[in-house]
Amino acid sequence: MNSPRKLKVGFVGLALIGCTSICAATTDDHLVPLLDYVPRHAGAPGVYDRLCREKLFVTPGLVRFLEQPGIPRETEIAVSMYRDIKKQNGMRGGYWLTVTEPSVSLWKFARHVDGQAPIDTRVNTPGVRIGRKDAPIAETTAVAVHEVWLAMLKRTKSLEGNYSIPLEGSTETFWVTTSTGKTLVGQTPRIELPKSSATNSVVEIAHFLTNYCIDPPAQRAAKALAIEAAASSLQKRLMRN
């Protein structure tokens, strides 16, 4: 997508690739089901997705975001928002963010898996270190993020146009847990969308969350306000459409 993010949780990184991938401008401004792209049950793509979740999802997740870059030298990054009222040094409400990132791309270890291999194929990852940052987040910010994730993911549907979907380029995936415990999931469509689109806006909020967690604590209050403002703005736009 078009929004920049800061890389590396405890490692020295490169810049973010610029856009998910390019096909044609479209009005399909919404997230899409995971199955729109590649089989999630077999072969290297499915094993890679499982490996990312296995290595990077280290906490519960009311809200999750996973960015898988399309350039092998780049690394994946994940952010999870969850509630733990017993965790020390938290804020009112007990909400936390955790950002995780591997020292090298996990695709390196999954890309040679046989095309018919089941998703639970074991993959060794020698030398990989997982960087982790944790930060408490205000209840008002957490609620705003949860609500906008929920609104975006409820709109998830397949693309209506006939597009040639490339497999290169980054992939952003979103998860949210509803009040009934159901998990909704969707991905960004691999088509070019305006920078002001709802899809680009929710990716930008995810990047804000990542940077909130990584940046110095003294900057977090201002960043939390910016996150709330962005979430509120997007929520209003979604309600109008």
Per the CB < 8 A criterion, the answer to whether 145 and 227 are in contact is yes
pTM score: 0.85
> Cα separation of 65 and 48, whole Å?
16
> Cα separation of 112 and 99, whole Å?
27
Per the CB < 8 A criterion, the answer to whether 32 and 234 are in contact is no
Q: Two tokens at 153?
A: 């993911």
Alpha carbon separation from 110 to 49, 105, 135 (Å, rounded)? 9, 10, 31
Lowest-confidence segment of 35-49, 54-68, 220-234 by average pLDDT = 35-49
Q: pLDDT of 123-137, one tens digit each?
A: 999 999 999 999 999
Per the CB < 8 A criterion, the answer to whether 113 and 121 are in contact is yes
Q: What average pLDDT is seen over the chain?
A: 84
Q: Are strands 95-102 and 77-83 parallel, antiparallel or unpaired?
A: antiparallel
Query: Tell me, what's the pLDDT at 23?
Result: 40
The residue written with tokens 């996973």 in the block is 66
CB atoms within 10 A of CB 130: 17
Query: Tell me, what's the pLDDT at 180?
Result: 95
Per the CB < 8 A criterion, the answer to whether 2 and 195 are in contact is yes
Segment holding 205, helix H or strand E: helix 198-214
Segment holding 139, helix H or strand E: helix 139-154
Q: 3-class DSSP state for residue 82?
A: strand
- For 27-52, what is the mean pLDDT? 76
Closest alpha carbon to 52 in 20, 100, 6, 116: 100
Q: pLDDT of 160-209, one tens digit each?
A: 765 555 556 788 999 999 999 999 999 998 778 888 899 999 999 999 99
Q: Is residue 15 scored above 60 in pLDDT? A: no
